[in-house]
Structure 1
């Protein structure tokens, strides 16, 4: 592999990891803000979303530069294509973390409302999936990537269960419907983050093996 290409691929990997770290931190803070009613954390997430967007643009430009200058093939080409997809998915995770932070601020401004333990459990599973998907990128770990693919089903089941729980809470306390709907939105955002972590894991499988695994059931 030419030295200049190797250097640029390593720089691209570092830039992706920077975006990943920002997004993972934002997700963790948004969840803490929701569960513990810590508005300062929610504000930090909202203020930091612009930085994630800026980094996403930088990574995309770096990918395009590598494609134009080096015209990589085989494994190197798969790596750059995968990083383009991962970069886009991470930016979307950042947007969803921002959405959770916005819901946390809205809920904190109202009467105290207990967050169902199922949402806390779902949050932990989603955070683990996001962390595992990023670790799979770093280590080109196809086994860890496949674990993420399998974990997505448990999150989908939790989301469906949370819908039932919140529906029952709304029937019992119609005066809290607006707040419960916001919690339902949070559950939906978490489910979408899990889907994006799954996308990243699929990109790792493609990057390492050249196998396209999207739209398969696991």
Structure 2
């Protein structure tokens, strides 16, 4: 490919990594708002999410320009498409962080309830796989991407533990139903963050190895 294409890709990668950094930051801020019962911090998340949306638009425009003007093929084409797909996942992580922040704001306005241990563990795991998936992209590291995939089942189990814990709490303390339902929703949002990290890791493997492993287990079962 030409130097022009290389420059385009450098710009796209840079914007994507900035977008990833923003997504990590607002997820962390949303969780701090939850743990600290800080409604002001929760509001900042909604404001910060706008920058993620701006970066996604810039990436979309860059991808279209690269496809239209450079007509990339093979590995170059895979990387352009991966950038687009990863940007979509990161935009959704931003939306999930905003949803967590909304739960945090509601929680701050109500009497506190104990956070289940599984929720704090789930939060750490979701943040970790997001960080690792972005590291894998920045280094085109398929091995690190596979390490992200290996954590998906544990994240799913942690979400189930939170749901079970909150349902038991709901039976014991029905007057705190709104807070307990919010914790269930936060767990679901964190599990979805893990799913988006998995998607990013799969895109890294597509670029690095020219192998599309999305839905591989499900497709294998249905053969």
TM over 0.5: yes
List gaps (5 residues or longer) in structure 2: 219-223
Tell me the CA shift for residue 177 of structure 1. 1.0
TM-score for the superposition, normalised by structure 2: 0.95
The C-alpha deviation readout for 1:42-86, integer Å capped at 9, x for no partner, is 121111111111111111110010000000111110000001100
The C-alpha deviation readout for 1:65-108, integer Å capped at 9, x for no partner, is 00000001111100000011000000000000000001000100
List gaps (5 residues or longer) in structure 1: none
The C-alpha deviation readout for 1:129-182, integer Å capped at 9, x for no partner, is 000000001000100100001101100011111111110000000111111001
Further displaced range: 74-83 or 44-53: 44-53
Query: Is the 1:148–1:201 contact (alpha carbons within 8 Å) kept by the matching residues of 2?
Result: yes
Matches within 5 A, 1:95-174: 95-174=95-174
Size of the aligned set, in residue pairs, is 218
Counterpart Cα distance in 2 of 1:11 and 1:53: 17
Matches within 5 A, 1:20-35: 20-35=20-35
Matches within 5 A, 1:10-21: 10-21=10-21
Matches within 5 A, 1:183-202: 183-202=183-202
TM-score for the superposition, normalised by structure 1: 0.98
Tell me the CA shift for residue 40 of structure 1. 2.6
Give every structure 1 segment of 4 or more consecutive aligned residues whose post-TM-superposition deviation is greater than 6 Å. Answer: none
